Amino acid sequence: MKTIDVEKARKETRGVDKVTHLNNAGSSLMPIPVADALYGYLQTEEMQGGYETAASEAAALDNFYTASAKLLNCSSSEIAYIENATRAWDMAFYSFNFKPGDKILTSIAEYGSNLIAMIQQANRFGAEIIFVPDDEHGQLDVAALENLIDDRVKLIAISHIPTGGGLVNPAAAVGKLANAAGIPYLLDSCQGVGQLHLDVQEIGCDILSGTGRKFLRGPRGTGLLYVRQSLVEQLEPIMLDQHAAQLTSATSYTIRDDAKRFENWEQYFAGKAALGVAIDYALDWGLDAIQARIYELAADLRSKLSAIDGVTVTDEGTERCGLVTFYCQQVEATAIKSAMSAANINVSVSSGSGSFVSFEKRGLDSLVRASVHYYNTTAEIDQLIDVLKQQLK
């Protein structure tokens, strides 16, 4: 396995000279090749026009599909470019035709936006949402999931890495059960793409949604959707246009037979080209190496936080990733974030809206979330720890 050349990574990231960025689960700092690709595309649009640039940059735009397919180990025809991970997830989820009595199995830590969509569709069509219990480690209980599977289950939809902590749900174990039962499996890997080695064949998911702005280090307003070819033609998107479908008469149309049926004709083309560069950039480092580096830094941060009196680390699961969440009894999360910001350190606050059911179950309110990436350093972690200790004096 490769190792990360941290000095090189930092030299290729202009932002590290300006800020200690520990909010990568929100949005990472773009590396120079990605930022330059974005700026360059926009400058060409400025000088040549949008349509003309799309034609002249066709290879860069097509590279998004090739790079995404390599990233996830699938065919490029199974990839769609979507403006963000939530909309990618929505485009797939809303394509299912639920009926009264159908069941949707999901996780306790499911993302709030996903759960809102589930509730809406359940209310519309009489479907039922079933929360799979957690096991003793706080991750989805695979044995409980197996016991919940019956012929009424229409979809299994879980978050790979919940937004409110470092938990990594056992996605591949879920895939084995879903595949054995012939149940479609939708995996929200918004926080996983670019952070973890992901292979949709190994995981066994039929659908995977992801974003560009987080661990892939791409621009905001970019995302991707994978849909297994065997499922593509079974799902008709809730919204169609002349890119996703073609008129065949005044009263009929045909939908394209690849994952692009989930796309819009109008897209953020500069972002699409830059996201392809970001994926290539991640692949050059190696996802195994990226994951190892992130896990190492996160473990160091958790250890140092746990050694501070009055600090509670709240991450769950047997596998924990680069999202590190904690709270302090005597200082509110928003005050800690403000202190970090004053020291030029970026962190975020998880208020619970993104992990509502999980937070309510665990009695949590607001948490500080610090999320590391491979370009971060131990010195930056120590800087966060020093600021926190000053707040607790």
- For the chain, how big is the Rg over CA atoms in Å? 21
Percentage, residues of the chain above pLDDT 70: 100
Q: Report pLDDT for 2.
A: 85
Task: Give 193's strand partners.
Answer: 196
- If asked whether residues 37 and 79 sit together in one domain, one would say yes
Torsion of CA 277, 20, 338, 167, to 10 degrees: 60
- If asked whether residues 176 and 68 sit together in one domain, one would say yes
Average pLDDT on 292-318 reads: 97
- If asked whether residues 338 and 363 sit together in one domain, one would say yes
Q: Label each residue of 242-279 as H, E or C.
A: CCCEEEEECCEEEECCCHHHHCCCCCCHHHHHHHHHHH
- If asked whether residues 251 and 308 sit together in one domain, one would say no
- If asked whether residues 206 and 353 sit together in one domain, one would say no
The C-alpha atoms of residue 283 and residue 243 are separated, in whole angstroms, by: 29
- If asked whether residues 279 and 294 sit together in one domain, one would say no
Please report which confidence band the pLDDT of residue 8 belongs to, taking 50, 70 and 90 as the band edges: very high
In what helix (H) or strand (E) does residue 236 lie, and over which residues does it extend?
none
Torsion of CA 314, 317, 320, 324, to 10 degrees: -10
365 is in which domain, residue-wise?
A: 6-30+286-391
1 inside domain:
no
Mean pLDDT of the chain: 97
The C-alpha atoms of residue 85 and residue 221 are separated, in whole angstroms, by: 9
Q: Report pLDDT for 353.
A: 77
Please report which confidence band the pLDDT of residue 352 belongs to, taking 50, 70 and 90 as the band edges: confident
User: How far lies 329's CA from each of 165, 305, 308, 310, 312, in Å?
Assistant: 18, 13, 12, 6, 8
Please report which confidence band the pLDDT of residue 67 belongs to, taking 50, 70 and 90 as the band edges: very high
Last residue in a domain, options 269, 284, 299: 284
Q: Report pLDDT for 271.
A: 98
Cβ atoms 194, 47 nearer than 8 A: no
Whose tokens are 């016991």? That residue is 147
CATH of the domain at 83: 3.40.640.10
377 inside domain:
yes
Q: Which two tokens stand for residue 95?
A: 């394509």
User: Per the structure, how many domains does the chain have?
Assistant: 2
Average pLDDT on 361-385 reads: 96
pLDDT digits (tens, 9 = 90+) for 230-286: 999 899 999 999 999 999 999 999 999 999 999 999 999 999 999 999 999 999 999
Last residue in a domain, options 268, 284, 300: 284
Q: Which one-letter DSSP state was computed for residue 31? A: P
- If asked whether residues 40 and 93 sit together in one domain, one would say yes
Q: Which two tokens stand for residue 147?
A: 């016991």
Please report which confidence band the pLDDT of residue 351 belongs to, taking 50, 70 and 90 as the band edges: confident
Query: Which residue type occupies 309?
Result: D
Q: Is the pLDDT of residue 31 over 80?
A: yes
Last residue in a domain, options 232, 259, 284: 284
- If asked whether residues 107 and 235 sit together in one domain, one would say yes
213 inside domain:
yes
- If asked whether residues 108 and 244 sit together in one domain, one would say yes
Query: Which residue type occupies 260?
Result: K
Q: Which one-letter DSSP state was computed for residue 345? A: E
- If asked whether residues 279 and 334 sit together in one domain, one would say no
Q: Which two tokens stand for residue 220?
A: 């905001």
Listed in sequence order, the residues at least 6 apart from 311 whose beta carbon sits closer than 8 Å to its beta carbon are 305, 326, 327, 328, 388, 392
- If asked whether residues 233 and 318 sit together in one domain, one would say no
Q: Which one-letter DSSP state was computed for residue 359? A: H
**Whole-prediction pTM value?**
0.96
CA 45 to chain CA mean position, Å = 29
